[in-house]
């Protein structure tokens, strides 16, 4: 390997300036470090080498330059009579996939089921290296996901604001429908919002908590046990936002690249209900959007994101 690289650089020094050759030498050094022999760069090898470079914390621009230089080096090798493969089509597909993934990551407005589980597991202390948080934040996260409320609205909800209706389906089956009254919404408006429990066990958590509260109690009232006392607090929006900011930081320190944003819980509620067939005008009323176009924009953006995910699956 090194013999071929040295010969290649020696020939370049005859026709290129010193700085250009030094840069090429630096770029090809990554190939020398990767393998003692000249690898055949088929699709699998290209993806393997890419992961190797990413693990060295190199920027994507540098990685592109390395691949470009290796391609030129392999063209020179082919001119010398060596038939070594370099799959340029696979390389283009790789960078198209990475570009699409970065675009998806930067614009994503809702959480996938896997991301929701990751956040909830982090709060429960079910992830290695992350300690369990106060259970009130687990309940808050579920509530934001199932109601679409803003944090400022959620922390003001009292027990008396919950309404459970029992209706009969066409098949004669009795079902519960949960609503919550938002007394202090944006711009001071009141509204009634559907609570849609995406998992049955989440409803049980709410039923148990409501049993322990008086009608006037704030739903997000919680207790903290100290060595000699037990103190009761009511969650504030400032405290909740600070919690999610710290949780995101903690997750990123453990290598989980995820944004923990309360507004994204709200957007997740919108997209989940829309994909389940709820009319967009109803969803707009429930989340308190003054314009239905705002709700529709979030839903359509999610549809585009899902289309992009399908493209990524086919590229990989």
Active centre residues (catalytic): 150, 186, 263, 266, 289, 299
Q: How many CA atoms lie within 13 A of 311 on its CB side?
A: 16
Task: Please check whether residue 207 is in contact with residue 219, taking contact to mean a CB–CB distance below 8 angstroms.
Answer: no
- Contact in structure between 30 and 73 (CB atoms under 8 Å): no
Residues 6+ apart with CB under 8 A from 263: 150
Measured between alpha carbons, how far is 179 from 67 in angstroms, rounded to an integer? 56
**Listed residue (105, 106, 111) closest to 264, CA to CA:** 111
Structure-token match 């190797």, residue found: 52
Q: Cα–Cα distance between 299 and 267 in angstroms, integer?
A: 8
Alpha-carbon span 169 to 209, nearest angstrom: 28
CB distance 244 to 188 below 8 Å:
no
β 174-182/162-168 pair status: antiparallel
């Amino acid at each position: 390997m090194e013999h071929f690289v040295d010969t290649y650089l020696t020939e370049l020094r005859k026709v290129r300036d010193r700085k250009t050759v030094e840069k090429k030498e630096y770029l090809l050094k990554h190939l020398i470090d990767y393998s003692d022999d000249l690898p055949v760069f088929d699709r699998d090898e290209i993806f393997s080498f890419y992961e190797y470079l990413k693990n060295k914390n190199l920027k994507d621009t540098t990685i592109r330059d390395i691949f470009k230089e290796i391609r030129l080096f392999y063209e020179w090798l082919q001119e010398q009579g060596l038939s070594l493969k370099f799959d340029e089509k696979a390389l283009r597909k790789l960078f198209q996939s990475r570009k699409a993934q970065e675009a998806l990551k930067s614009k994503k407005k809702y959480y996938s089921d896997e991301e929701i589980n990751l956040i909830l597991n982090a709060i429960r202390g079910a992830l290695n290296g992350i300690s369990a948080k106060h259970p009130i934040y687990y309940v808050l996260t579920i509530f934001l996901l199932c109601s679409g409320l803003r944090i400022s609205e959620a922390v003001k909800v009292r027990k008396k604001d919950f309404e459970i209706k029992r209706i009969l389906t066409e098949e004669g089956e009795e079902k519960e429908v949960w609503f919550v009254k938002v007394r202090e919404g944006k711009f001071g408006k009141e509204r009634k919002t559907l609570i849609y429990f995406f998992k049955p066990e989440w409803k049980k958590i709410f039923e148990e908590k409501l049993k322990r509260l008086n009608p006037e109690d704030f739903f997000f009232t919680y207790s903290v046990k100290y060595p000699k006392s037990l103190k009761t607090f009511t969650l504030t929006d400032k405290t909740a936002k600070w919690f999610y900011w710290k949780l995101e930081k903690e997750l990123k320190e453990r290598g989980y690249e995820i944004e923990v944003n309360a507004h994204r819980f709200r957007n997740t509620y919108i997209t989940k209900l829309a994909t389940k067939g709820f009319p967009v005008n109803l969803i707009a009323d429930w989340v308190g959007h003054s314009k239905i176009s705002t709700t529709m924009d979030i839903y359509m953006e999610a549809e585009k994101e899902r289309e992009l995910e399908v493209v990524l699956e086919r590229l990989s």
